[in-house]
Amino acid sequence: MALRALDNTLPAAVSERPKKSAKLSTPTVTAVAASPWEGGKKRNDENAVPKAKSTSPAAVEQAVEYVRSEDLQPVAGPKARAAGLVAEIDSKDWVKVCEALNDARRLAIHHPALLTPILEKMVLAMVKTMKNPRSAVLKTSVMACTDVFNAFGNLISSASADAFDKLLLQLLLKASQDKRFVAEEAEKAMRAMATSMPPLPLLKKLKSYVHHANLRVRAKAAVAMAHCAARMDIETMKEFGLSALLQVSAELLNDRLPEAREAARSIVSSTHSAFCKEAAAKEKEKEKEKEQQEEGESAVAAAWESLCALSLSPISALAVAKIVSQSQPQ
């Protein structure tokens, strides 16, 4: 076996690699400032101080002011303004639309006779503005509804059933939305509607919204119905139908929103109060002695229980009876 020779000598000195010298870059100073425009394109310089944009007077004038009804002044030249009012409300310029809506409010307050011939067209134009996505137009149009209801409460439903139905739907939708500054104005407009319009035709219109798919719409309709029921006497309630009124209340007592349930309780209380007043008036005419009057009060209670039993299911009748017992003075 051949043996390999062992070389115990040190290896030859390895030549060291030359070290790289550090490269030092000298900053170049340009005598001419760099232009923000290079090759016809604007260069984005993050170190440059942004220049303040000047606000034009036209942009400042576009701020819309929400004027209260009591602060609105009469229109200069009301006849000419009323003649072109519908076209102005239908304008594509939202600033002009807001100005026209405020003029409609002024005319409704100070010159209502000039709006009577164009009431239907004006209501339809207002309905269109209530669908506008711009908040300023939306709120101004809802504010205009309040003044129109106060001025034409007895005429607006009879002027055009189709126009009023569309207006009522938009008010219910706007009162149910999340924008509080719009919803509050819509609720105010609905209160003006409930207090200025005849309660019976309005109650018939609102009845169909009790079964609306939107919970908030149902609740707002129930509140308006409660306002109507509070203004109705027993004869008007009978014309609508006492059984129908109790049935609507019983349905709303099971609603998911507390606002609708509270409105249902108010409707039951108003119906019971009107029913007892009529029955008590009849009994007082017939009976004058105290014992006979007590018997008459028991007869009123029996008549009310009979009406509830005929109109409602047993569970709903018990719920209505509970509301009546809580509303009576102890």
pLDDT for 21 equals: 55
The DSSP element (H or E) to which 41 belongs, if any, is: strand 41-42
pLDDT for 105 equals: 95
CA dihedral (144, 146, 151, 156) positive or negative: positive
pLDDT for 314 equals: 86
- Positions of the chain with pLDDT under 70: 1-63, 159, 286-297, 329-330
pLDDT for 34 equals: 47
pLDDT for 311 equals: 87
pLDDT for 58 equals: 41
- State how far the alpha carbon of 229 is from the alpha carbons of 86, 250, 300, 313, in Å: 35, 15, 20, 22
9 Cβ contact list (under 8 Å, min separation 6): none
pTM: 0.74
Distance CA 104, CA 324 (A): 45
Structure-token pair, residue 326: 């809580």
Distance CA 34, CA 29 (A): 11
pLDDT for 295 equals: 54
pLDDT for 147 equals: 95
In the chain, alpha helices (H):
57-61, 78-83, 85-89, 94-110, 112-115, 119-129, 135-152, 156-159, 161-175, 180-196, 199-207, 215-231, 234-240, 242-252, 258-286, 290-311, 314-327
pLDDT for 51 equals: 59
pLDDT for 222 equals: 96
pLDDT for 5 equals: 54
